[in-house]
Amino acid sequence: MTYAYLRQMPDNANLSDQQRNILSFSLTQGMEIDKEVIEYSTKNHPIEERKQFEEFLHSVEDGDTLVVDTLSVLSDKAEEMIKVFNCMLSRDIDLYVANMQLHVTKETPIVKIFPLLNDLREAQQARSNQIGRPKGSRSSSKFDVYQAQIISLLREGMNVSAIARELGVSRSSLKDYIESRGIRELVEGSWMEINTLKQVPGVDNTILICPFDQENQKQTSQQKERIL
């Protein structure tokens, strides 16, 4: 099934514009929209508080297709988009972004996804410069030019200390960069290792797919441990 996902937000295009852009894009791609889903919100809530979005992600089935007008409809924060990518691509859900003429699948190389995340960070930084720097906002880093290499070395199993020596940089600075950019989460993301079983304490033979699911599984595990 092919879904058009729209979100009503102050900084997003209005719903009719989103709808028109998606329709125009789908026609050029020869796609037929089967269902339109609209998320209403009066403010930009953290992704964990967007229950409509969480319910929608749970309802989408493996192999479905999602079309949005802009990437910010899903989230305008890079750290949240990592979670969304993990959640969708682990289930072989194709993503089309109309304004970028972009098609993302689980075969899309990570090095092509990182520029999208960097664009979100830059837009977030631009907003923070207008209203003051909020806690946790990120700016560009000298390590950005090494992103592809860092990802490759982490996937090969090299630890942070070894990578720092390879690049000739400070281990602590590199560690901070990897954590702040969510690089390790991407490298270890289940959509990249779709056939690999990963264990959660107290949960047997579980393939971690969606961050929302992971959190629910951890809570269930903790409840079981308290009972036992």
The model's pLDDT over 27-69, given as tens digits with 9 standing for 90+, comes to: 999 999 999 888 877 677 888 888 888 888 888 999 999 999 9
Whether residue 198 has pLDDT greater than 60:
no
The conformational region for residue 48 under phi > 0 = left, psi -120 to 50 = alpha, else beta, is: alpha
123 close to 75: Cβ distance less than 8 angstroms: no
Terminus-to-terminus CA distance in the chain, angstroms?
A: 42
- pLDDT value of position 20: 87
The percentage of residues in the chain with a pLDDT greater than 90, rounded to a whole number, is 27
Extents of the domains making up the chain: 2-104, 110-187
Q: Per-residue b/e over 1-36, b at no fewer than 16 CB within 10 Å?
A: ebbbbbbebeebbebeebbebbeebbeeeebebeee
CATH superfamily of 2-104: Resolvase, N-terminal catalytic domain (3.40.50.1390)
Long-range contact pairs involving 212-215 (C-beta distance under 8 Å, separation at least 24): 212/54, 212/57, 212/58, 212/87, 215/48
Q: Per-residue b/e over 187-222, b at no fewer than 16 CB within 10 Å?
A: bebbbbeeeeeeeeeeeeeeebbbbbbbeebeeeee
The partner residues of 102 in beta bridges, in order of sequence, read 97
Closest CA to 71 of 124, 133, 109, 148: 124
d(CA 6, CA 39): 6
Q: Is the pTM of this model over 0.75?
A: no
Q: What are phi and psi of 112, to 5 degrees?
A: -90, -20
Structure tokens at 187: 């490298």
Whether residue 97 has pLDDT greater than 70:
yes
More confident residue, 209 or 183: 183
- Close Cβ partners of 45 (under 8 Å, ≥ 6 residues apart): none
Cα 85 → chain centroid: 4
Q: Three-state SS for 37?
A: strand
Q: What are phi and psi of 93, to 5 degrees?
A: -95, 120
Where does the pLDDT of residue 214 fall: very low under 50, low under 70, confident under 90, or very high at 90 and above?
very low
pLDDT 10s digits, 154-197: 888 899 999 999 999 999 999 998 887 767 765 665 333 322 22
